[in-house]
Chains A and B, each alone.
Chain A
Amino acid sequence: MNEKEVHGMLIDYEYCTGCHTCEVACAQEYNWEEGVSGMKVIEIVEKLPNDRYYLVYLPFPTEACSLCIGRVKKGMEPQCVKHCMAKCLEFGPVENLLEKMKGKKRTVLFRPR
């Protein structure tokens, strides 16, 4: 990891299936008490025109997320990224993720506090 690079997480929420793996992966790594996690998966039922609906899950990084700085320093990925069942989380320098973002729809880029 280059200390000067700003790291972030690209969340391809179109593919998040709401499996909550990220929440528990984080809880295991940091031994969080129940209910605390660096990630929180939010269910959104989008109402669309013509009485249509669309079900979305948004993996939302919380105040507790450090993007696993300790793991990253050892050359590992954050736990949530490593285990994401839908492979919809990506970690890396923000610059690189921004490039990747250009080729994808419905993504958000996260930078921790």
Chain B
Amino acid sequence: MNQEGFHIIRTTTWSAGPGCHGGCGVIAYVKDGKLIKVEGDPDHPWNQGRLCARALAMKQYVYHPKRLKKPLVRKGQRGEGKWEEVSWDFAYDLIEKRMKKIRDEFGPESFIFAMGTGRDIGPWICMLAYAYGSPNVMFALSGNACYSPRIAALDTFQGDYCVFDAGQWFEKRYDDPRFVRPECMIIWGYNIHSTCPDNLFGHWIVDLMKKGTKIIVVDPRLTWFSSRAEIWLRVRPGTDSALALGLLHVIVKEELFDRTFLERWTNAFLLLRTDKNVLLRESDLIPNGKRENFVVWDKNSERVAFWDTEKLEFRPASTTPSFSCEIDLACVDGNTVRCHTVWDAFRKRVMEYDPSTVEKITGVPKEDVIRAARMYAKSKPASIHWGVPIDMTPNVTPLCHAIACLWALTGNLDVPGGNVVARFAFDAVAYALPGAEGIIRLKSKEQDIPRIGREKYGPFQKFIWRCQTDTAFEQIFSEKPYPIKGMWIQTLNPLAGIGMDPKRWREALLKMDFVVGVDLFMTPTLMYADVILPAATFLEKEGIRSWWVPLQSINKALTVDECKSDAEINFELAKRFDPEFRWKSLEELFDEIIKPSGLTYKELKERVWVLPTEGHPSHPYLRHEKGLLRKDRKPGFQTPTGRFELYSVLREEWGYEPLPIHEEPPFTPVSRPDLTKDYPLILSTGRRSPAYFHSEHRMIPWLRSIDPDPVVEVHPNTAKKYGIADGEWVYVENWMGKAKFRAKVTPIVPEWMVMATHGWWFPEKNPEEPELFGVWESNINLLIPMGQHGKDGLGAPIKHLLCKIYRA
């Protein structure tokens, strides 16, 4: 307590509250149990005293008159808005009874546990679903197109995720002698400073720019970053993979790559058989050879040799592999096959993407492609950071592959100032995250078998432990192979935010026998719930944050009415669903999750944040050289070949394209000239506002006044062509539907594209059907289909559709 009678609580942001993925150190000032204000913690290395508009508006959020404060049970029809306040015990009993009935009659997998992004929801919704026995945890975005695809892709090609280096691993940050400032950064589709997604602090890039980092920006919009870029690559949305391949083309052709990294740490030396375009395996050449081992051509002996993927050694050890060759080899099946190396195939592929071809596909002038490739490759170190537009295209995985090859081939992987391997601090993992398994898991592998999309899509067997969303969505209507009877909706508003084709999401909710919603405010989606439980903000709860570094505690500062944290709510019900539930209290569970750090939850609470130290696999740098990345502790990467995979073994096995490639998305002027006649403009959506996180915060006055209306950005020439003046209301329309926006006439966007904001509903309007808080008025998702995900179940065309605009 300080001299003015405040209780001062040091804690960590994570939604609910600012909406973001958290990490900022916050000081909450509380007097007589009431929040007076929040400030940024100047001693916290993450934000160094800074705090964003959404976190600083917490007082209006916490004490908002429309916050849900008591459990509600539906009285009238769904959508009618008639509710009765009930006690927590009554709500818990009702939920337990109804959900157990569904489990008994249809099996646990018939209940979907659906979430959005933001809150610290992942572990606790998994805890509940798994205690109930259902593997069907759903992140409700088409193509699971936010972060999971990028993480799964990097797990596929390099065994670990990586992020740009801003010295976040060190207490002294930029001043730590181990940190090196990147000379150059490519910012790829990322207006990161608006909302700080992906467990990063956006203004770290601004810090780096002030210290001298030069930037290259890939973005169709004139953003703050692209204004300040050395080179701005104004790409046509959906063609980023061609651009990345074009950059690789220049780097390979001009030999600007890091030969040591290529030869030592990639799988460029493996032989491919050209008859089937697959890797040549030891079992192809030797009767008892292993399928897991691969073949190389030894330059010295001019004979075949083997790459042993268990020992991560050549056999014989004296092998000097050839990186380019063309040879005929006799296989055990009697056939002779012509073989070349992965490097040969990779070079052949990138040679297809010369700068002129890339200019034709992407619209980026070929000179700029060449300049950008040279600048990036010659800057040491250099890093790339990418945003959610990477996920929001069906070709996401090959796109990630191409970009990952950029940082790998230039020797920027896990070096100071480069792209640094990001792991959960101390490898303390709470739950089934992409590429990781945590403490909270299903009891048996058998329980995972009915998970929707698991059988069909490779990444869902290896890295992604959610349903494939579009497949689950279809299953709700088809009821094949089994019916979906209920939905648990927590931190999720598909009618307004995350749901594409949202009117069908309404139909999906109406099909459910039982829907539970957990949220902080009434939303259009919750109008279809049977029971609603009021959740707490980060200031009102105990918790942990273990996303990359540091490991942090969320320390409770106050209580609001009867609101409970998501973790508390789910813990209580998990106990009721699982007689063998093994934790007695949340604190006991927290203790177990953070055990690898050597701290108890109480101890972590005192420190609020803690960074892993030198020698730990979650602390940089050059961990592939030190043997810190693989379970067997051998130098290398956690991939099937132990190397960074220019050619992906897993993608080959799953039946997908194993090399980077560009594929034109489904609804563009190139792929659908027929539609372009009626819908001549590229529709892109989802530009960020610093006032909002997706569909949240429209009811917070301090934030709403910053960005009061749904906006569509239109170029002045385009506006003139369609007779639209700045500030006028317009319709954006295509074959799926239409939505109304206020035109912002601005050269920020190119003439051929409009950018519509997303997540709009109007908490000030009537909640009842048909108005539903005005959710059908300005909802850009009405123009976006479900079911257009990539071949591997990942990615969706959210950044590049087609539309027309006209005055409303």
Interface residues of A (CB under 8 A from B): 15, 17-21, 23-25, 27-29, 32-35, 45, 47, 53-57, 82-87
A88 to B56, CA, bound (A): 18
Q: Which of A35, A47, A83 contacts B51 (CB 8 A)?
A: A83
B63: min CB distance to chain A, Å: 12
B609: min CB distance to chain A, Å: 19
- B222 & A21 in contact (Cβ 8 Å cutoff): no
Question: How many residues on B have C-beta within 8 angstroms of the other chain's C-beta atoms?
Answer: 37
Q: Which one of B127-135, B265-273, B488-496, B697-705 contacts A?
A: B697-705
Q: Which of B50, B59, B223, B746 contacts A28 (CB 8 A)?
A: B59
- B223 & A55 in contact (Cβ 8 Å cutoff): yes
Given A53-B747, A83-B39, A83-B40, verify A21-B50 contact (CB < 8 Å): yes
Chain B residues lying within 8 Å of A28, measured Cβ to Cβ, are 37-38, 56-57, 59, 702
Chain A residues lying within 8 Å of B59, measured Cβ to Cβ, are 28
Closest chain B residue to A31, Cβ basis: B59
Chain A residues lying within 8 Å of B706, measured Cβ to Cβ, are 20, 23-24
- B52 & A85 in contact (Cβ 8 Å cutoff): yes
Given A35-B705, A45-B222, A55-B223, verify A19-B194 contact (CB < 8 Å): yes
Q: Which of B193, B206, B222, B702 contacts A27 (CB 8 A)?
A: B702
Chain B residues lying within 8 Å of A29, measured Cβ to Cβ, are 37
Please list the 3 inter-chain residue pairs (A to B) with the smallest Cβ-Cβ separation, ordered nearest first. Answer: A34-B701, A24-B53, A55-B227
- B690 & A83 in contact (Cβ 8 Å cutoff): no
Interface residues of B (CB under 8 A from A): 37-40, 49-54, 56-57, 59, 193-194, 202-203, 206-207, 209-210, 222-224, 226-227, 690-691, 701-706, 746-748
Chain A residues lying within 8 Å of B51, measured Cβ to Cβ, are 21, 25, 83, 85
Chain B residues lying within 8 Å of A32, measured Cβ to Cβ, are 702
- B52 & A34 in contact (Cβ 8 Å cutoff): no
A-B pair count, CB < 8 Å, reads: 100
A58 to B206, CA, bound (A): 16
A23 to B704, CA, bound (A): 12
Chain B residues lying within 8 Å of A21, measured Cβ to Cβ, are 50-53, 56, 690
Q: Which of B193, B209, B704, B746 contacts A85 (CB 8 A)?
A: B193
- A45 & B746 in contact (Cβ 8 Å cutoff): yes
Chain A residues lying within 8 Å of B193, measured Cβ to Cβ, are 17, 19, 85-86
- A20 & B747 in contact (Cβ 8 Å cutoff): no
Chain B residues lying within 8 Å of A85, measured Cβ to Cβ, are 50-52, 193, 202-203, 206
- A19 & B53 in contact (Cβ 8 Å cutoff): yes
Chain B residues lying within 8 Å of A35, measured Cβ to Cβ, are 705
A15 to B227, CA, bound (A): 11
Chain A residues lying within 8 Å of B702, measured Cβ to Cβ, are 23-24, 27-28, 32, 34
- B37 & A17 in contact (Cβ 8 Å cutoff): no
Question: In the complex, given contacts A24-B57, A54-B227, A87-B206, what are 8 additional A-B residue pairs having Cβ atoms less than 8 angstroms apart?
Answer: A17-B202, A21-B50, A27-B57, A29-B37, A34-B702, A53-B222, A85-B193, A85-B206
Chain B residues lying within 8 Å of A45, measured Cβ to Cβ, are 222, 746-748
27 CB contacts below 8 A, A to B, read A15-B210, A18-B690, A19-B52, A19-B53, A20-B690, A24-B53, A24-B54, A24-B56, A24-B703, A25-B51, A25-B53, A28-B37, A28-B702, A32-B702, A34-B705, A53-B227, A53-B748, A55-B222, A55-B226, A82-B40, A83-B51, A83-B56, A84-B50, A85-B50, A85-B52, A86-B193, A87-B50
- A57 & B747 in contact (Cβ 8 Å cutoff): no
A109 to B338, CA, bound (A): 72
- A19 & B690 in contact (Cβ 8 Å cutoff): yes
- B49 & A82 in contact (Cβ 8 Å cutoff): yes
A47 to B53, CA, bound (A): 29
Closest chain B residue to A19, Cβ basis: B690
Which of B51, B56, B203, B210 has the largest count of A CB atoms less than 10 A from its CB?
B56
A24: min CB distance to chain B, Å: 4
Closest chain B residue to A29, Cβ basis: B37
Chain A residues lying within 8 Å of B53, measured Cβ to Cβ, are 19-21, 23-25
A91 to B206, CA, bound (A): 20
Closest chain B residue to A47, Cβ basis: B747
B590: min CB distance to chain A, Å: 30
Q: Which of A18, A23, A33, A84 contacts B224 (CB 8 A)?
A: A18
- A20 & B691 in contact (Cβ 8 Å cutoff): yes
A87 to B210, CA, bound (A): 10
A29 to B51, CA, bound (A): 14
Chain A residues lying within 8 Å of B705, measured Cβ to Cβ, are 34-35
A53 to B54, CA, bound (A): 29
Chain B residues lying within 8 Å of A55, measured Cβ to Cβ, are 222-224, 226-227, 748
A91: min CB distance to chain B, Å: 13
Chain A residues lying within 8 Å of B690, measured Cβ to Cβ, are 18-21
A85 to B50, CA, bound (A): 5
B148: min CB distance to chain A, Å: 27
Chain A residues lying within 8 Å of B226, measured Cβ to Cβ, are 55
A101: min CB distance to chain B, Å: 16
A95: min CB distance to chain B, Å: 24
Closest chain A residue to B38, Cβ basis: A28
A92 to B49, CA, bound (A): 18
- A86 & B704 in contact (Cβ 8 Å cutoff): no
A78: min CB distance to chain B, Å: 12
A15 to B226, CA, bound (A): 13
Chain B residues lying within 8 Å of A33, measured Cβ to Cβ, are 701
Chain A residues lying within 8 Å of B210, measured Cβ to Cβ, are 15, 87
Chain A residues lying within 8 Å of B222, measured Cβ to Cβ, are 45, 53, 55
A19 to B222, CA, bound (A): 16
A33 to B57, CA, bound (A): 12
A86 to B705, CA, bound (A): 21
